[in-house]
Amino acid sequence: MIASILISVAAILLGWLFFKAWSINQYWKKRNVPHLEPTLFFGNMFDVVVKRRTQDEIIASIYAAFPKEPIVGYYHFMGPRLIVRDIQQIERVLIKDFKHFMDRVPPTDLKTNALNINLFGLTGNTWRALRTKFSPMFTTGKLRDMLNQVTSTSGELVKLLDKNLNAVDIKEQSSKFALDIIASCAFGIEPGALDREDNEFKKEAERAFKASPAAFFRAMLNISFPALAQKLKITFLRNSTTEYFSNVVRDTLNHRRESSMVRNDFVQLMVTLQKQGTLDVGKYDPNDEYLMIDNSAAVDEKIELTDDILIGQSFVFLLAGFESTSTAMTFACYHLSLNRKAQEKAREEVKKIMKDRPEVTYDCLKDMKYVDHCLKESLRLYAAVGSLVRMCVLPYTFPGTDISIEPGMRVMIPAYAIHRDSQYYADPEEFLPERWESDEKRMPCTYLPFGDGPRICIGMRFAQMEIKCFLAKMLMNYRISLHPSVELPIRLNPHSFLTKPIQKLVFNLEKLVE
Which residue ranges make up the site for ligand HEM (CB under 6 A)?
A: 119-120, 131, 316-317, 320-321, 324-325, 328, 384-385, 388, 449-452, 455-459, 462-463
Sort strands 79-84 and 410-413 into parallel, antiparallel or unpaired.
parallel
Q: DSSP 3-state helix, strand, coil percentages of the chain (rounded to 5)? A: 55, 10, 40
CA atoms within 13 A on the CB side of 431: 21
CB of 66 to ligand HEM, least distance (A): 23
Sort strands 79-84 and 478-482 into parallel, antiparallel or unpaired.
unpaired
C-beta of 215 vs 385, nearer to ligand HEM: 385
Alpha carbons 243 and 239: distance in angstroms, whole number: 6
CB of 455 to ligand HEM, least distance (A): 4
Q: Are 372 and 287 in contact (CB under 8 A)?
A: no
Cβ within 8 Å of residue 388, ≥6 positions away = 94, 412, 413, 415, 448, 451, 452
CB of 384 to ligand HEM, least distance (A): 4
Task: Tell the burial category of 117 from Cβ atoms under 10 Å away from its Cβ (0-12, 13-18, 19+).
Answer: buried
Q: Are 371 and 329 in contact (CB under 8 A)?
A: no
C-beta of 25 vs 387, nearer to ligand HEM: 387
C-beta of 27 vs 462, nearer to ligand HEM: 462
Q: Find the DSSP H helices in 34-86.
A: 46-49, 55-65
CB of 178 to ligand HEM, least distance (A): 8
C-beta of 71 vs 90, nearer to ligand HEM: 90
What letter does residue 390 receive in the DSSP assignment? E
C-beta of 327 vs 337, nearer to ligand HEM: 327
**Bridge partners (DSSP) listed for residue 510:** 479
C-beta of 326 vs 477, nearer to ligand HEM: 326
Does residue 457 have a known ligand-binding role?
yes
C-beta of 241 vs 324, nearer to ligand HEM: 324
C-beta of 41 vs 436, nearer to ligand HEM: 436
CB of 464 to ligand HEM, least distance (A): 8
CB of 456 to ligand HEM, least distance (A): 5
C-alpha distances in angstroms, 333 versus 168, 348, 416, 467, 483? 11, 16, 20, 11, 12
Q: Are 458 and 134 in contact (CB under 8 A)?
A: yes
CB of 449 to ligand HEM, least distance (A): 5
Give the residue nearest to ligand HEM (CB).
451
Sort strands 410-413 and 478-482 into parallel, antiparallel or unpaired.
unpaired
CB of 479 to ligand HEM, least distance (A): 24
CB of 10 to ligand HEM, least distance (A): 43
C-beta of 41 vs 63, nearer to ligand HEM: 63
Phi, psi at 512, each rounded to 5°: -100, 130
C-alpha distances in angstroms, 43 versus 58, 64, 118, 388, 487? 11, 18, 30, 19, 31
CB of 177 to ligand HEM, least distance (A): 12
Indicate the helix (H) or strand (E) that contains 335.
helix 323-338
C-beta of 241 vs 327, nearer to ligand HEM: 327
Q: Are 465 and 476 in contact (CB under 8 A)?
A: no
Q: Are 179 and 202 in contact (CB under 8 A)?
A: yes
Cβ within 8 Å of residue 232, ≥6 positions away = 221
Q: Which amino acid is at 330?
A: T
Binding-site residues: 457
Binding-site residues for heme: 457
